[in-house]
Structure 1
C-alpha cells in the first residue's frame, strides 16, 4: 500500500513559517490556557536566561492525552466540543484546527512541557528540540524522537501546565529595553483579550519581565481605560442580527452629551440573509466604536489626562480602526497599525458617508461569537478571516455603520465661519503690529523665535485672505447664475403663457375622447409656469419693491410649487401648512419672501434625505404653522441643527453640505433684516436633542 511519508520539516509549516508574529504566537498559547478552563495564565519573559515560561492552572493533561491529542497534528477534540454547542452558549472552545501548540516553535528552539491533572499521581514531561523539525531538516517525521517521561508529583501540587521555551528568538536583543517591552504590552499584548468587554468567566493574564540585569517588572493585562473612552467625542454601539442593524450613538461637546439617539440602519436586500444554509450568511455580532477628534482644541475637552500630547499618546494605544474579537479573543491584524481593513482613510468612505472618519481617530471593537457567526472563520495562519462571501457581506455591513456614523460626525463638527476667519486674521495682524511696535520701542533685535512667531501670524493672515477670496468668488458666481436665471425665467414665463393660450383655443375643437389628455397637459404646463414664476417674480427684488401680500396664500403657493421638486428626492416628503385664519395681509417684497421660504424648504428637504429610513412609508415632513398674529413656525423631521452650529448657520459660507455654498440661510436672514422681520432659530429640541424650528415673525408687517 502506497502511503504519504511526511518529512519532519512539515511541522515548521504549522509553526514558525505559519505563525507570522510573536504576538500571534503568544495569543495562541493564551487561548490554549483559556480552553483548559484555567482562571489565570502567567507569562514570564526572561531576557537574562533567554527563556519564556507560560503557566496556567487549567485542567492539565495526562500521558494518554499528550500522546493521543497534544502530539497528534490537527487533532479534532476542540472542534468536536464546538459542534456540540448550541447558539447562545458563551463558554466556547477557541481552538479547532489542532495547531495552536506549534506556535511555541515561533518563540524558541527548545520546548519543555510539564503538566498534571487533578487525579494524576505524577507530572508528565515532554521535551522537544524544534530545530529537528526546522525548514532545513532532512529527517523523516518518524525518525525524530521527543523525550517523554514522568516525575514525582509533590503533595501540595494539584493541576497545572507549565511550558518552558528556551533559546528564544525574540525579546533578547539590545533593542528590547524596559520601554520597548512596556510598549509591546500596552500596544499589543493588552489587546490579546477584548479590553472593552469582559469574558464569560474570570481569566487573568499576567506578564512578568526579567531584564538583562535580572531586574523584574510585572504587568496585569487589564481593561481599556474607561475614563478615556467615556469622553470620546463620538460613541456608537449596537447589534446586528440577520436583517436588522441597530445603532445607539452619543455626541459629546465640551464634555456634555449634546446628541443621543438609537436608530435602525436600513440595508440593501443583497446584504440580508437570515438562512444559515445559504452562502453569505453572516450571523449576529455586537460592536462598540469610539471616535476622537484629535485636533488640539477638541482634545483639550478630555480631562484628567494631562496635555494634548499625553492624550494623543494614550489614544495611540487603541486607535487604528476597529479590532475584531471572537469569543473574547483577538483576531489579527484588524485594528493594527497599517491595517486599514475598512479603508477608512480612502475617499470611498468619506464620500459615501460625508464624514471624515479616519483610522487614527477610531477605536473600539466588533465582537463575534463562534455559535452565532459560524462562517466568519480564521485563516489557518491566524492572520485574518477567510475572504469568503460571508466576510464580504460582513465588511459591507460594518461599512454601512461607519457611513451612518460619518453623517453624525459631519453635522456635528465645528466648521470655521466667515467671522472665525476674520477674527483670526485680525488677531494675527494685531500680534504682528504689537510685536513690531514693542521691538522698535525697546530697540530689540529680532531673534529666531521672534521671527518664527511673526511668520506664523503672517501665514494665518494670508490663509484667511485666501479663504475670503475663495468665498468671494463663490458669491460672484452665484450672483451671475441668479441674474441669468431671472432673464431666462422671464422669457420662459411669456412663452408658456402663449402655449396656454393656444391650448385654450384648441380645447373648443378637439374630440371629447382626447380632451382628458389636453387637460393633463394643461395642468402640467401650469405647474411649470408656477415654478418659473417664482424666479421671475424674484427679479422684482432688485428694485426692493414692497406690496400687499396674503401671507397664508403665498406660503401655500410656495409649498405647492415645491411639490415637483420634492418628488425628485429619494425620500417622500410632505409639506403641511397649518393656519387658523384664512388670510393675513403683510406689506413685503413678494419675490424676496418667496426666496426666503424656498431656501428654508430646500435646506429641509436636503437634510431630511440624509436620514436613512427602513420603510418607504416613513415620510419626511416639513411643517409650516402660521399663527393668528403673523408668526410663522417652520420645522421638519430631519436631523436638526446642533447647539454648536446654532449661531453659525446664519453666517455667509457656513455649510455642512458636501457641495454646499453656505449662502441659503444667510440670504434668508438678510431678507428678514431688510423687512425688519424677526427671524431666529428657536431652542426647541427634536428627538435627536437638536434644534429644528425657525420662527419668522411677520407681525410688524401686517397691513389693514
Structure 2
C-alpha cells in the first residue's frame, strides 16, 4: 500500500494551516531573509498602472510587464520583492514548487558543519510559500539568480491545483535587465487593503492645502495586526548587526511602519533572568531593575491623587532615592542559585528529565518590561523619562501605546528572531493570565501592559521547533521542559521579586517620611472637628437667613428706620467679620485633611488584604483547636489500652497463635502506643495554647507576664526539640521582670521566634558535619535578655538572618525556609504594633557575618 494525496492538501497546508493573512506575510518575509536579502519592498497597488518604478528594487522587463498587464487586468495587486539570492529554474522547482522541501534543512546542516553563525536560516519545513494562498487567488513568481541570464516567470492559479496536483503552472523566460539577483512575487488581491493599511488621508489630496507632503505621508500606516506580525524580524530589544530593511508602499507612497522604538526605555520595571554556566555550575540568576518613576508611581499609590499633587517630588529626587538605597535594593532584588537547586523544587519525579532538556538549550536569558497604560500614570513615566534624558522630548503617550500594541506580550527568540508567542493578548502559553487569578494580582504581569522576550540557544532548531502559525511550539520533551522552567521563573521568582520591591520601596518611602503616618484615630478627630465646625456654619447660615428676611421686609428703604435696620443687618453679615467665612474656611480645610487621611488609609489595601488573610487563618486555627479539644476530652476515658492488649497477647500465645500476634496484634499495639504518646503531647500543646485564647476582647484581657516564668513554660513546651538539638533556652534578667501585655500576645511572638531558632540551629548543625566553619565548641543557646524596662533582646546561636532576608524579613510572603509560608515574622510585627509594641533587627553581626539580634519593645503606657 502507498500513500496517495488528495490535491486539496495544498489548501489545507496553506489557507488552513497559516492562521491569518498577517502570518502569511511573516512566512514570506522569512523566506526573503533566508535568501540573504538586505532589502524587501512590499507594494500595495490599486492597479498595475499605479506601480512606481522608482520604488522598485529591480526594474521590470518591458515584455514581462506587458504579459503581467494582460494577466492581472484592472485588479488590485500586492507585490513582495527582495534583493536576495533569487532562484534558478532548478531551485524554483525543487524548492518553491516542492511541498515539504528539505532544501533549507540541507542549508542548515551545511552551515552547522562550517559553524556559520553570522546568519540564521529561519525556515525548514518547506511549507512557507503555501502562505501565498492567503494573499490572493493568483500568484506570479518572477525571479532571477546571478548564475542565469534569464528571468524565470511562473503563473500559479491556486484553484487549478486544488483539483489536480499534476497541473502544470504556465512558465516563461525573459531577458534580465539587471545583474542583480532578486525575487518578486505578484499577488492578484480581491479583499481590499483595509486589513493591512490604515489610510487617514483626505480623499482628494490638494497640494495647495497640504504643501508639506512628508507630513501627509505619515497618515498612511500599517494596521496593528500586520505591524505586530512582521515585527518578528525586528526585536525591539537589540539592533540587528546586518541590515534587513522592510519598506511598505501604497501606490508608491511610503507607509509608516515602526519596528524599533525608544519607548521600551520608559518601562517602570525590568525583570531579568539568565541561565548560564558559572564557576562550573549551571546557574540561574533573577533580578528586578526599578526605574525612578516606579518609585513615583508607588508614592502616588500610597498618597492618592489628591495628596500626591502636594507631596510629589521631582524626577531627580526619586532617582536620587534609588541611588541612596541602591545597595539595599540590589541585595534584595537579585537572587542566584544553581539549576540543580532550582529543579529540586520540582517534586514529582521529573527533575532529571526537565533538567537535562533545559540544559540542551542553554545559555538562556529573558527580560520583561512593565508599563502603565492609564493616561495619568503613563504620563508620569513619560515625563520622568524625558527629564532623565532617556527618551526624546517629542515622545508621547499615543506612540507608546502603539508600541505596546505592536510588541505586546512575551515572545520566544532564537538569536534575534522571534519564533513563537509565549504570552500575549491572544495566547497565553506561560499561563500568566491564569496566574493573575491567584494571590495578589498587583504583583503579577498583566499581558496588555508588558513586552518581553526569552532567548534560547538553539541556533539550528534541533530541540525547539515552532509551528507555522507561530502561536505555539511543536510538542516534545524540550518544549515541555522549557514551558515548565519559564512558568516557574515568571510565576514564582518574578512574582516574589515584584512583591519584595513593593514592600521594600514602601518601607523606604515611610522611612524618608514621604508618606504621612495618618491613622483611623486621627481621621476620627478630623471628622469630629468638622462636625463642630459644621454646626457653627449652620448657626451662621441661620443668621444669614434671618438677616435676609429682615432686609426683605425693609427693601423699600423709604424711611430712616428701614435704612438703619438694613445697615445693621449688613454690618452683622459682613463676610470680613470672623464668623461664617471663618467657619466655612475651617470646615473646608478640616474636611480636606480628613479626605487626604482617608485616601491614605484606603490606599493601604495590601495591608488590609494580608490582615484579612490572617483573620481567616485565625478562624481556621480556632476551629482546629476546638476539634482538638474535643478529641482530647474523648480520649481521656480512663480505658487502659495496654492491659487490653496484654490480655489479647496472653490469649494468642496460649493458643499458640504466634503468627496472628506478630502480624496483627503487635502492629496495632505499636500504633496505639504511638498515638497515645502523640495525644499526650497534643494535650500538653493544647494546654499551652489555651492560655492564649481571648474570650472577651476587653481591657481585662491584659495580663502581667513574668518573663522568667514565661520562658520556663516555653522550655517545657519545646523540651523534646531542645533536647534533640542539645540547645539551652535561657532568660537573662531579674526574677521579677514583668510586662503588662495583651493575654497570649508574647506566646504568639516567642513561639514563632523559638520555632525559627530551632530550625536554623538544626540547619547549622547539619552543615557542621561537612563544613568546619559551622562547628561550635559551646552548647547551642536561645537567649531572651532584658535590656531596659520595656525592651528585650532575643538571639540564638544559629546562622543568623542572611543578607538577602534582612531587609524583607518582616514583609509578607518572605521566608528563608525552603517550604516556608513567609507570614510568621509579618504576623509577629503586626501583633506587636497592634498594642504599641515593635520588633526590629539590630545591626550587630554574628561570626557568620549575619545580623542575629531582635529588639522587642512594648509601649511604656502599657506598663503605667
Q: Which TM-score band (shorter chain)? A: 0.5 to 0.7
Q: What is residue 409 of structure 1 aligned with on the other side?
A: 498
Q: What is residue 10 of structure 2 aligned with on the other side?
A: 11
Q: What is residue 62 of structure 1 aligned with on the other side?
A: 88
Per-residue CA deviation, residues 613-668 of structure 1 (Å, 9 max, x unaligned), is xxx9999xx9967679563358534963757987x99xxxxxx9799997532222
SS in 1 for 2:42: strand
Is the contact between residue 138 and residue 155 of structure 2 (CA under 8 Å) also seen in structure 1? yes
- Give the TM-score taking structure 1 as reference length: 0.67
SS in 1 for 2:353: coil
Q: What count of residue pairs does the alignment treat as equivalent?
A: 630
Q: What is residue 549 of structure 1 aligned with on the other side?
A: 708
The whole-number CA distance in structure 2 between the counterparts of 1:522 and 1:5 is 75
Q: What is residue 832 of structure 2 aligned with on the other side?
A: 668
- The 5 Å alignment of 1:415-434 reads 422=520
The whole-number CA distance in structure 2 between the counterparts of 1:145 and 1:117 is 20
The 1:549/1:345 distance shift into structure 2, 3 A limit, reads same
- The structure where strand makes up a greater share of residues is 1
Per-residue CA deviation, residues 292-312 of structure 1 (Å, 9 max, x unaligned), is 374868754563379996597
SS in 2 for 1:640: helix
- Give the TM-score taking structure 2 as reference length: 0.56
Which range moved further: 417-426 or 542-551? 417-426
SS in 2 for 1:304: helix
Is the contact between residue 631 and residue 698 of structure 1 (CA under 8 Å) also seen in structure 2? no
Is the contact between residue 207 and residue 221 of structure 1 (CA under 8 Å) also seen in structure 2? no
Is the contact between residue 333 and residue 501 of structure 2 (CA under 8 Å) also seen in structure 1? no
The whole-number CA distance in structure 2 between the counterparts of 1:23 and 1:335 is 18
SS in 2 for 1:385: coil
Q: What is residue 173 of structure 2 aligned with on the other side?
A: 149
Which protein has the larger Cα radius of gyration, Structure 1 or Structure 2?
A: 2
The whole-number CA distance in structure 2 between the counterparts of 1:361 and 1:603 is 40
The whole-number CA distance in structure 2 between the counterparts of 1:403 and 1:552 is 42
Q: What is residue 352 of structure 2 aligned with on the other side?
A: 272
- The 5 Å alignment of 1:20-39 reads 20-39=19-38
The whole-number CA distance in structure 1 between the counterparts of 2:136 and 2:602 is 60
Deviation at 1:270, TM superposition (A): 0.9
Would you say 1:96 and 2:255 are equivalent positions? no
Q: What is residue 535 of structure 1 aligned with on the other side?
A: 689
Match of 1:181 among 187, 202, 222: 222
Q: What is residue 247 of structure 1 aligned with on the other side?
A: 285
Q: What is residue 640 of structure 1 aligned with on the other side?
A: 805
- The 5 Å alignment of 1:413-562 reads 413=502, 422=520, 531-532=685-686, 534-535=688-689, 538=692, 542=701, 544-547=703-706, 549=708
Is the contact between residue 275 and residue 365 of structure 2 (CA under 8 Å) also seen in structure 1? yes
The whole-number CA distance in structure 1 between the counterparts of 2:621 and 2:12 is 71
Is the contact between residue 264 and residue 369 of structure 2 (CA under 8 Å) also seen in structure 1? no
- The 5 Å alignment of 1:61-460 reads 61-84=87-110, 86=112, 90=117, 91-120=119-148, 122-133=149-160, 135=162, 138=163, 140-154=164-178, 157-167=179-189, 169=191, 171-172=193-194, 176-177=198-199, 178=219, 181=222, 183-184=224-225, 186-197=227-238, 201-210=241-250, 215-219=253-257, 221-222=259-260, 225-229=263-267, 231-232=268-269, 234-239=270-275, 246-252=284-290, 253-254=294-295, 256=322, 258=329, 259-264=332-337, 265-266=342-343, 267-268=345-346, 269-273=349-353, 283-284=361-362, 286-290=364-368, 292=370, 294=372, 300=380, 303-304=384-385, 313=401, 316-317=404-405, 320-346=408-434, 350=438, 356-371=444-459, 374-380=462-468, 382-404=470-492, 405-413=494-502, 422=520
Which range moved further: 464-473 or 161-170? 464-473
The whole-number CA distance in structure 1 between the counterparts of 2:234 and 2:721 is 56
Per-residue CA deviation, residues 443-474 of structure 1 (Å, 9 max, x unaligned), is 9xxxxxxxxx99xx89x89x969989999999
SS in 1 for 2:350: helix
The whole-number CA distance in structure 2 between the counterparts of 1:298 and 1:645 is 29
Is the contact between residue 114 and residue 123 of structure 1 (CA under 8 Å) also seen in structure 2? no
Per-residue CA deviation, residues 573-616 of structure 1 (Å, 9 max, x unaligned), is x998899x9767671349654332224467899999xxxxxxx9
Structure 2: segments with no counterpart, 5+ residues: 51-75, 200-218, 296-318, 387-392, 508-514, 545-574, 581-590, 643-665, 695-699, 762-768, 775-779, 814-819
- The structure where helix makes up a greater share of residues is 2
The whole-number CA distance in structure 1 between the counterparts of 2:478 and 2:405 is 30
Is the contact between residue 73 and residue 98 of structure 1 (CA under 8 Å) also seen in structure 2? yes
The whole-number CA distance in structure 2 between the counterparts of 1:34 and 1:81 is 14
Deviation at 1:123, TM superposition (A): 4.3
Is the contact between residue 424 and residue 447 of structure 2 (CA under 8 Å) also seen in structure 1? no
The whole-number CA distance in structure 1 between the counterparts of 2:228 and 2:521 is 41
Deviation at 1:389, TM superposition (A): 4.4
SS in 2 for 1:665: helix
The whole-number CA distance in structure 1 between the counterparts of 2:859 and 2:824 is 32
The whole-number CA distance in structure 2 between the counterparts of 1:89 and 1:494 is 78
Deviation at 1:535, TM superposition (A): 3.0
The whole-number CA distance in structure 2 between the counterparts of 1:68 and 1:365 is 35
Which range moved further: 530-539 or 656-665? 656-665
Per-residue CA deviation, residues 214-249 of structure 1 (Å, 9 max, x unaligned), is 6434546336744134x42x51222379x9672321
The whole-number CA distance in structure 2 between the counterparts of 1:607 and 1:57 is 67
Deviation at 1:364, TM superposition (A): 1.1
The whole-number CA distance in structure 2 between the counterparts of 1:699 and 1:547 is 17
Is the contact between residue 100 and residue 125 of structure 2 (CA under 8 Å) also seen in structure 1? yes
The 1:370/1:681 distance shift into structure 2, 3 A limit, reads closer
Is the contact between residue 271 and residue 393 of structure 1 (CA under 8 Å) also seen in structure 2? no
The whole-number CA distance in structure 2 between the counterparts of 1:607 and 1:180 is 62
Deviation at 1:699, TM superposition (A): 14
SS in 2 for 1:15: helix
Is the contact between residue 285 and residue 372 of structure 1 (CA under 8 Å) also seen in structure 2? no
Is the contact between residue 323 and residue 330 of structure 1 (CA under 8 Å) also seen in structure 2? yes
CA RMSD of aligned residues (A): 6.3
The 1:96/1:287 distance shift into structure 2, 3 A limit, reads same
Would you say 1:597 and 2:677 are equivalent positions? no
The whole-number CA distance in structure 2 between the counterparts of 1:521 and 1:74 is 69
Is the contact between residue 238 and residue 246 of structure 1 (CA under 8 Å) also seen in structure 2? yes
Structure 1: segments with no counterpart, 5+ residues: 444-452, 504-513, 568-573, 609-615, 650-655
The whole-number CA distance in structure 2 between the counterparts of 1:293 and 1:431 is 42
The 1:553/1:236 distance shift into structure 2, 3 A limit, reads farther
Is the contact between residue 116 and residue 123 of structure 1 (CA under 8 Å) also seen in structure 2? yes
The 1:556/1:36 distance shift into structure 2, 3 A limit, reads farther
Deviation at 1:34, TM superposition (A): 2.0
SS in 2 for 1:545: strand
Deviation at 1:419, TM superposition (A): 7.0
SS in 2 for 1:41: strand
Per-residue CA deviation, residues 36-91 of structure 1 (Å, 9 max, x unaligned), is 22333333444574433333333233333223333323221211233455598644
